[in-house]
Amino acid sequence: MNPFQFSIDELEKKARSIRRKIIRLNAGSPAGGHTGADLSQVEIVTALYFRILNCAPDRTADDNRDIYIQSKGHAAGGYYCCLAEAGYFSPDWLPTYQHNDSHLPGHPVRQKTPGVELNTGALGHGLPVAVGMALAAKRDGSARKVFVLTGDGELAEGSNWEAALVAAHYQLDNLIVINDKNSLQLAGATQDIMKTDPLEDKWKAFGLNVTHCEGNDLSSVVNTLESLKAESSPNVVIANTVKGAGVSFIAGRPEWHHRVPKGDEVERALKELEDV
């Protein structure tokens, strides 16, 4: 059971709080950050950690806990802010993001950060490992679900499609793949660099169920995740998001892939993210 089980209103408030932390965390980073990617996934990880996932900070070794894998490891900053809010470690750690010997390095490291299930950062690794976890849960008769969040640019990595074949072949209906489809990647628009559309058709052709949601709308994210059916096929949720969502001068701008807020940008962003 999820220890929070937040309402949509509570989730929205939590999402704003996580966004404010993301702005401060990136502003304090000595080595840049991935502000745009951190912000696009906020509603997805907020819904998971505060309503959907059967996991909690005091059950990190529970064999039956649900698993979340941050395959888009470059959005570690956003992931850390969510984990801190959910109580996996003290928010006091957040200002150490990417500092020397920090518990919060630039990509997730499970040996350093409570709550992190897999070291990622090289793209295309989350889904194959999630397949192994989902397969193990099936064979052990566990009710565990395995959630994996990928970027959309990341889907150019062929290992994802190897894993999709295996997931469908072994009927891993306890596996939920969420694509944070913000349509931007390091060097520009995903559709210009390497087209992944029609994405739904591709997953379907590999034998996976596909559902869409508005990935920056908590009602849509929650309703979609709560209505997924486990009927022999793995599920893919294509979450249409905006990179940099929530801050007007970051949203949809490719230069914020690896930029962090500076000077008055910090206060301007925080002002936009105040609770109303």
Partner 1 sequence: MSNSEHFANIMVQCFIDAVKAGVDLVPVVADSTSTSKIKPFVAEFPDRLVNVGIAEQVMVGTAAGLALSGKVAATCNAAPFLVSRSNEQVKVDVCYNNTNVKLFGLNSGASYGPLASTHHAIDDISTMRGFGNIQIFAPSCPIECKQIIEHAIREMGPVYIRMDGKALPELHDTDYRFVPGEPSLLRKGSKVAICALGSVVHEAVAAADSLIEAGLDVAVINVSSIRPLNRELLGNMLSGMPHVVTVEEHNINGGLGSIVAEVVAEQGLKSQLTRLGVADGNYAAAGDRPYTRKNLSIDSAGIALVCQNLMG
Interacting residues toward partner 1 by CB under 8 A:
63, 110-111, 117-122, 124-125, 127-137, 139-140, 158-159, 162-163, 165-166, 169-170
Give the nearest distance from C-beta 244 to partner 1 in angstroms.
Answer: 28
Using the CB atoms, write b or e for 223-240: b if 16+ within 10 Å: ebbeebebeebbbbbbbb
Closest to partner 1 by CB, 159 vs 223, is 159
Nearer to partner 1, 63 or 267 (CB): 63
Which residue in 96, 175, 193, 194 sits closest to 130, CA to CA? 175
Is the CB of 182 or the CB of 233 nearer to partner 1? 233
Q: From the CB of 204, what's the least distance to partner 1, in Å?
A: 19
Contacts within 8 Å (CB) and 24+ apart, 131-138: 131/163, 131/166, 131/167, 131/170, 131/172, 131/175, 133/67, 133/69, 134/167, 134/172, 134/174, 134/175, 134/234, 135/170, 135/172, 137/174, 138/170, 138/172, 138/174
Is the CB of 158 or the CB of 263 nearer to partner 1? Answer: 158
Q: State in angstroms the smallest separation of the CB of 131 from partner 1.
A: 5
Nearer to partner 1, 163 or 221 (CB): 163
**Cβ of residue 129: shortest distance to partner 1, in angstroms?**
4
Q: Do strands 184-185 and 188-189 pair parallel, antiparallel, or not at all (unpaired)?
A: antiparallel
Q: Where are the beta strands (DSSP E) in the chain?
A: 67-70, 146-151, 175-181, 184-185, 188-189, 209-214, 235-240
In residues, how long is the chain?
Answer: 276
Query: For residues 27 and 134, which CB has a smaller minimum distance to partner 1 in the complex?
Result: 134
Residue 32 CB, shortest distance to partner 1, in Å, is 22
Instruction: Provide the minimum distance between the beta carbon of 174 and partner 1 in the complex, in angstroms, as a whole number.
Output: 12
Query: For residues 252 and 249, what is the distance between their CA atoms, to the nearest angstrom?
Result: 8
